[in-house]
Structure 1
Amino acid sequence: MIKSSIFLILGLIFSLFSFGQNDYINYNLKSFQARKLNYENKLDSAVLLYQQAFNLVDYVHIENLRAGQKLAEKIKNDSLLAFCKNRIEDYSKDNNINTKYRSIIDSLSIEDQRVRRDNYGEAKYVYYESINDSTSNKESADFIKAKELMMEWWAVDSINMNTLLTLIKVNGFPSEKRVGKEAYGNAFIILLHFDKDEDNQILKPIIDKALIEGDIEPSDYAWIIDRRLSWGRQRKDPYYYQMPIGAEILSEGEVVEVNRRRKEIGLRKLFEGIEIKKDDMSISWKILY
């Protein structure tokens, strides 16, 4: 009888965490709701949502595993705790990480950030201020130096993007699963800076596929889409309002429509789970859960 009970429990645990469907849209929605329930101290319900979310995919992201582990330890849920700990331990071995791919991305990231620091930032200001002023002296030493630095900046971005696009064709999207969480974040920033790809004509098919396969976070997907719209030459309104600038003036009907779009990609509702702080000069937001 005891032996049968043990096998029954093991069977339930296995079925609870069996994978194969890979519904990353609902996985992301349920994971967010689990974080929300945890924040509201509805711990048993949060566990259930995490279990449902994890059952939808074959790769559970490390941030969700850590949140699930912390919650399971708090309420002593052995099945969720064992699952999260085993997965985290497995990920730590780097057995499935493409280390060469990761190393190249890290190198690209160093260059990406190098040309966005110190004198390059000042050069950008000088260059565009002069370009937009028809009376400025385009032969001045300051402008010539600024132009040289900007040309280097553009060259780095071009090389980075061409290299990364080639890597994606060969190795797949640089997801957390393939290159680790840190390198994924570095690759995302490089993709975000690909502003020459107006309307995301090159990136859209790539990140669409990555979203469905769980290789890009919904928030990062939305950020890339919105940046091209907001920063492009035509300065269009954001589609997802991932950066909630301007969202406060949306009508009730517009908020409903934006939330519909966000749900389609597995993203939380506008203003949900964040705290927005505004003053006369800036706007910032803090993620609560």
Structure 2
Amino acid sequence: MDTNARSAGGRPLRGDCGNCFGLCCAALPFTASADFAVTKKAGEPCRNLDDGFRCGIHTRLRQSGFPGCTVYDCFGAGQQVSQITFGGTDWRQAPESAASMFAVFPVVRQLHELLWYLDEALTLAPARPLYGGLRELLTQTEELTLLGPEDLAGLDMGAHRERVNALLLRTSELVRSGRGKRGRKDRRGADLIGARLRGADLRGASLRGAYLIAADLTGADLRDADLIGADLRDADLSGADLTGAFFLTQPQLNAARGDAAARLPTALERPAHWS
């Protein structure tokens, strides 16, 4: 695990497979595609999951047709559900808990992703006027992760995400305003699939939810850009400068392409598959 990985309330917000019951390999569905070699239903254990809840082909996932697994991270939800919500009793030992555990895992994963964003927002100096509200939402979100299985399954995630997102949006505006007119460049939800953005000046831009699939961002300047929810699958970030880019997650980076020359935020790791 990256020693720079963000944490909230003392818990790491990165997956710890050694303390998880293979939840992402059992709870989540996937469809045969360029990302997965086979189709698997939600709640159906992956055929590669061994008796110790480890992936039997972990070292050769890409070669075996499962690159989608290599770009996934649960933000620490796996070990939270396994060890806290269900007290360390796995779904094989207690098969009657499997359905509940699999239903709760995606909910806690969403909560942990929100913790990642809120924790990062509290490190952004321009957002200081919002720190009180951010801390309050961080505490509320942490408390939600400690609910029991039944309460978690019935949680109105849409409403909670809306409250968090409203404050994250205000955070973004404050951070990007330091870039002047550039910081007001708004490309939220933009269709930039395959876009030629080599060397583009995107400093302080809002790329929230933008579709950057297979975009050429070679050498692009993304300093202080808001990348929350941006789809970076197969985007080329070789030589790009992401210093100070915020609300960027490890799964987003893992889904992109890049090289040793790309400059990244300190809380994130350079993906192993980058050249």
TM-score, length of structure 2 as denominator length: 0.32
Q: Looking at both structures, which has the greater relative contact order when contacts are Cα pairs under 8 Å and sequence separation is at least 6?
A: 1
TM-score by length of 1: 0.30
Q: Which has the higher helix share?
A: 1
